[in-house]
Structure 1
Amino acid sequence: MHSTHLLLEEPIRMASILEPSKPSFFPAMTKIVGTLGSKSRSLEVISACLKAGMSVARFDFSWGDVDYHQETLENLKAAIKSTKKFCAVMLDTVGPELQVVNKSEKAISLEADTLVVLTPDQEQEASSQLLPINFSNLSKASRNHLELAAVKPGDTIFIGQYLFTGSETTSVWLEVAELKGDDVVCKIKNTATLTGSLFTLHISQIRVDLPTLTEADKSVISTWGVRNKIDFLSLSYTRHAEDVRQARKFLSKLGDLYQTQIFAKIENVEGLTHFDEILQEADGVILSRGNLGIDLPPEKVFLFQKAAVYKCNMAGKPAVVTRVVDSMTDNLRPTRAEATDVANAILDGSDAILLGAETLRGLYPVETISIVGRICYEAEKVFNQDLYFKKTVKYVGEPMTHLESIASSAVRAAIKVKASVIICFTSSGQAARLIAKYRPTMPVLSVVIPRLKTNQLRWSFSGAFEARQSLIVRGLFPMLADPRHPAESTSATNESVLKVALDHGKASGLIKSHDRVVVCQKVGDASVVKIIELED
């Protein structure tokens, strides 16, 4: 890890801090992933979330059934149509998540220094003395995996409301006292009340002998996922590169889902240990700081974030940071520490901020998205792009690939001429993502040219997936071109597509008269970077 990777442009006038933020069509280059749930699933609220800056909607299958999420998605589709805002869909798997089974959904009061029993008998009723869990090997090692040990006296177990916000009154720490058959007897370390219907259990010391992609996950993906052509699969508890390979193999058999991008969710020490190999296989990474923050000492969490984001940046793969404004679940304003944390995530190089409990069950989902977006916008203004660009070029080294050379040249040219936007024509989205990798200070308008395909039975166009998948990449804003315009054709056709792109930029407030625009496109077999100055 490079210790100088905190990028802040200097000097900053103190008086500028008091200047009001300027309204912008693009409130931030950084993307915001919003989790849709009970407080954010109506048409009105989703529409407001899109207008506030949400570009990816996350559907979390740790709770809610297929019908519930389908109803929410139909509202999202209607909101996209009415607001004319692009939005991608992310399916978040449950994975090997340990859960406390509370059928009655009644609050459970736990007193410090008393005992509670964890049992795999899910028919039992949850109470202050007994907590049923969905895992049977907590007290014994797996016979199939000799390296998997059971918990032992002295081990620590954490239980909290799903997407816990860190409040000690709603989450509890347990210390293993003894093992009794299949049961684990624990001493309660702090007084707490478990409220809600879903509680998760986190153990740092053992490896959970459950598949990363469970049968329940596969069922949801092959039905709901296929039906709705999901853009992203958030693979919970990714522990090895093989987890990603197996998930991709599964998706490849499900029609259009071979195009779905897989984001590895790093949320335990095992995933952290194998981070480099996971990054090679995944399309992007989600840094799940909630669960990982339990595994790691508090003083090490920032180090993981900076190292992981840096690796993602250099690989040109999106880095998504979670758990940033937990207090906004119940409050209209983030804490000072949270506001600073969001800004530092942007200065570290994060592509997107993922909001979980804040929008899933939070009281202020729209306000949360808006405030996080404004913090991102302010941080981006002081991001030291020049230093970042030089670091990235140095890391890539020479000789560069043809596409990497074109991308870095386009960004360099745009900064030199102070262009208002970079327009990139692409079919696969790769060229646009490479341009975004160099973090230009201006938006990158990715004009996705649909490609005509056939499976010998019918014709179809590709391109929609590529367009939506750019909605999680920092600084990248997609536009679907008319499929009648081929990606590589005559200069006249290219000029026609460019005019449409420029008109789109003007209509959205991105481009004004006399602005300079850098265009990156293919003409025949040649890749061309050109600078144009707009007239009145």
Structure 2
Amino acid sequence: MPFSNRTKIVATIGPASNSRRVMRAMISAGADIFRINGAHGDSKEHKEVIDLIRSVAKSMKAPIGILFDLPGPKIRLGELLQESVQLKKGRSVVLVCGKKRAPAGQIPVQDKFVARAVKSGSRIFINDGIVELKVMKVYGSYIECKVIVGGEIRSRKGINLPNIKLPIPTLTPKDRKLLDFAIKNEVDYVGLSFVRNAANVKYMKNLLARRAPEIGIISKIEKPEALLELKEIIKLSDAVMIARGDLGVEMPFDKIPTIQKMIIESCRALCKPAITATQMMESMVSSLRPTRAEATDVAMAVWEGTDAVMLSEETSIGWNPAKAVSAMARIALEAERNIPQSSYPEPKQEKKELQGQVISYASAVVADEISAKAIVTPTRSGRTALFISSARPRSPILAPTQHESVARRMNLYWGVVPLIMPPFNTVDEMLSHAEKVAIMRSRFIKKGDSIVIVSGAHGKKDDITRLLEIRTV
């Protein structure tokens, strides 16, 4: 097991990467989580992708997690009569709402409530903000607009309505069907799109608690109103994604870097993974190397403390998905060599979790002080490994577990290397198995080296972290 970059990589699967050969190459290059975008394809196609990911991961003995991204209440264009339409600045256009298709000279919008939500003077953005329209007049289901910023539009491209509160549910009917599918196929994470408040996440959390408590929720921050309840959203989530595409359309672009930094810091303080996403290395859709600005963007996210960075079109439709993963891994590894030394976050867990967090932070201090080869944390739930991860120790975090699903979820945690260990009946057996599998799988722990063992998996399902031990191999 080579000791490589500790910042995790989420790679989106699409036509360019949906093959055994390419998936193997992406895993070898450093992919940790594969993302499936529920907005594209049908259940049959999604099932084939999930089965292929599991098969490839098993053949490589890699605990690859699967993130199934729900489309959410995304407003989209309908089907255009032509493959693409060029809107020219200053021209007038008419949107017709509640239609999948429209006559020549009109642009269909699938959602009928859009005409009720906008008014004269409202701004409408299409295709991730590339095209900007200004509403001049609304009559019935028709919206007459003036093109402020021209550009190309295509069928089913997304629409953003900044500063407009929309009457949309947490889960659309399509989301519910896809969630049923995700639960049935035992994915590791679901992406909750367009989170607006903590109630959205709580709704999903309660739903999964009844049906699939082992599936983690990744809340996607892409609406400005979510920032008003950010702390509560993070607490309720298993991870947070900074979805800079839609967020950058809904808010002034100059504010996005500050918001990104603030979200990452908040996630780390609350011991929840942060994923930085969207256009990180977009030039690699059609190039074999990133731009200097993209390399700097990835490095800055690493220095700010992100747990993971994500590739979207770079791996779903790009020229060479494995090269995109490899380039991102190389940039992350180089950035980690020069990562600014930061203080440990102030413990902020509730009383029942506080002991575990404090002991986990203590293990990072001890490991750094004695130059331990590794921190070994046998775990049932992955909770202790996550606490240690948030402390950002210099030593590798090896996390043996009996459960493959837990190993796959931990593959999102910064610096954590999930390992599968044999079942155990006693604490001594657990510690012995954990030490043996860590030595055997890591290949860098030698006789005479020091390791720090931290654990809470002592018999009870919800046992708190209570053990910290220094061992000499």
TM-score, normalising length from structure 1? 0.82
**Residues 29-80 of structure 1 deviation map (CA, whole Å, 9 limit, x = unaligned):** 0111111011111111111111111111111111111111111222212211
**Partner of residue 261, structure 1:** 216
Give 1:430 shift.
1.1
Q: 1:187-226 to 2 correspondence within 5 Å?
A: 187-195=146-154, 197-222=155-180, 224-226=181-183
- Which one-letter code corresponds to 1:96 in the other structure? P
Fraction of identical pairs, as percent: 30
Residue aligned with 1:303, SS = helix
Q: What is the root-mean-square deviation in Å for CA atoms of aligned residues?
A: 2.3
1:325 to partner: Cα distance: 1.4
| C-alpha displacement of 1:360 | 1.7
Contact map agreement 1:103 1:126 (CA 8 A) in 2: no
1:518 aligns with 2:452: yes
Distance across 1 between alignment mates of 2:433 and 2:8: 30
Aligned to 1:54, the other structure's residue is in SS state coil
Q: Is 1:27 aligned with 2:7?
A: no
1:46 has 2:23 as partner: yes
Q: Does 2:123 correspond to 1:156?
A: yes
Question: Which whole-Å CA distance do the structure 1 matches of 2:419 and 2:191 have between them?
Answer: 24
Once residues 288 and 26 of structure 1 are traced to their aligned partners in structure 2, the CA distance between those partners, rounded to angstroms, is 29
What pairs with 1:297-308 in structure 2 (closer than 5 Å)? Answer: 297-308=252-263
Q: Kindly state the Cα deviation for residue 396 of structure 1 after the two structures are TM-superposed.
A: 7.6
Mapping 1:478-493, distance limit 5 Å: 478-483=418-423, 485-486=424-425, 489-491=426-428
Greater CA drift, 65-74 or 186-195? 186-195
**1:77 is aligned to 2:32:** no
In structure 2, the residue matched to 1:504 is 441
Aligned partner letter, 2:408: R
What SS does structure 1 have at the residue aligned with 2:149?
A: coil
Letter in 2 for 1:520: V
Contact 1:151–1:205 at 8 Å: present in 2 too? no
Q: Deviations over 1:146-181 (max 9, x none)?
A: xxxx21222221111xxx5x7xxxx31111121121
Match in the other structure for 2:275: 320
- Determine whether 1:334 maps to 2:290: yes
Establish whether residue 376 from structure 1 lines up as the match of residue 332 from structure 2. yes
* Contact 1:112–1:189 (Cα < 8 Å) also in 2: yes
Contact preservation (8 Å) 2:80, 2:107: no
The question of 1:58 aligning with 2:35 is answered yes
Report the AA paired with residue 170 of structure 2. T
The equivalent residue for 2:137 is 178
Once residues 216 and 66 of structure 1 are traced to their aligned partners in structure 2, the CA distance between those partners, rounded to angstroms, is 11
Residue deviations 1:255-302, cap 9 Å, x none?
xx2211111111011112221221121111111111101122122111
Aligned residue in 2 for 1:453: none
Shift of 1:249: 2.1
Tell me, in whole angstroms, the C-alpha distance in 1 between the residues paired with 2:227 and 2:348: 22
Once residues 516 and 107 of structure 1 are traced to their aligned partners in structure 2, the CA distance between those partners, rounded to angstroms, is 62
Residue identity in the other structure for 1:44: R
Change (3 A) 1:477 1:185: same
- For these two proteins, the number of residue pairs brought into alignment is 467
Alignment correspondent of 1:439: 392
Cα deviation, residue 339, structure 1: 1.0
- Structure 2 counterpart of 1:184, which letter? I
Displacement of 1:209 in angstroms is: 1.5
The code of the aligned residue for 1:193 comes to E
Relative to 1, partners in 2 of residues 1:397 and 1:43: Cα closer, same or farther, differing over 3 Å? closer
Query: Which secondary structure state, in structure 2, belongs to the residue aligned with residue 331 of structure 1?
Result: coil
2:132–2:148 Cα contact (<8 Å) kept: yes
C-alpha contact (below 8 Å) 2:9/2:32 kept by paired residues: yes
Secondary structure at 1:431 match in 2: helix
**Distance verdict in 2 for CA 1:503–1:340, change over 3 Å:** same
Q: State the match for 1:406 in structure 2.
A: 359
1:476 is matched with which residue? 416
Distance 2:80 2:53 in 1: 30
Is contact 1:102-1:126 (8 Å) kept? no
Give structure 1 stretches of 5+ with no counterpart: 1-23, 141-149, 451-462
Q: Which secondary structure state, in structure 1, belongs to the residue aligned with residue 71 of structure 2?
A: coil
- Distance, in Å, in 1 between the alignment partners of 2:412 and 2:210 is 25
| CA offsets 1:80-110 (integer angstroms, 9 cap, x no match) | 1222222011111111100111166712222
Task: Say yes or no: does 1:356 pair with 2:312.
Answer: yes
SS in 2 for 1:258: coil
Amino acid across the alignment from 1:447: P
Q: Which secondary structure does the structure 2 equivalent of 1:64 belong to?
A: coil
Letter in 2 for 1:206: I
For residues 497 and 231 of structure 1, the distance between their equivalents in structure 2, rounded to whole angstroms, comes to: 23
SS at match of 2:114: coil
> Is the 2:132–2:150 Cα contact (8 Å) retained in structure 1?
no
Return the offset for 1:400: 9.0
Instruction: Determine the C-alpha separation between the residues in 2 that align with 1:398 and 1:417.
Output: 29
Indicate the SS of the match to 2:343. helix
Q: Find out whether 1:131 has 2:107 as its counterpart.
A: yes
Answer whether contact 2:63 2:407 (CA < 8 A) is retained.
no
SS of residue paired to 2:468:
strand
- Output the CA distance in 2 between the equivalents of 1:126 and 1:237: 31
Q: Evaluate the alpha carbon distance shift between residue 397 and residue 250 of structure 1 in structure 2; reply closer, same or farther with a 3 A threshold.
A: closer
Amino acid at match of 1:215: P
Equivalent residues of 2:88, 2:147 under 8 A apart:
yes
* Matched-pair contact (CA < 8 Å) for 2:74–2:158: yes
Preserved CA contact (<8 Å) 1:51 1:85: no
Hey, what does 1:6 align to over in structure 2?
none
| Amino acid in structure 1 at the alignment position of 2:309 | I
Instruction: Give the counterpart letter for 1:468 in structure 2.
Output: R
Alignment partner of 1:233 is 2:179: no
Q: Secondary structure at the match of 2:213?
A: helix
Deviation of the 1:528 alpha carbon:
2.9
Question: How far apart in 2 are the matches of 1:86 and 1:396?
Answer: 28
Gaps of 5+ in 2: none
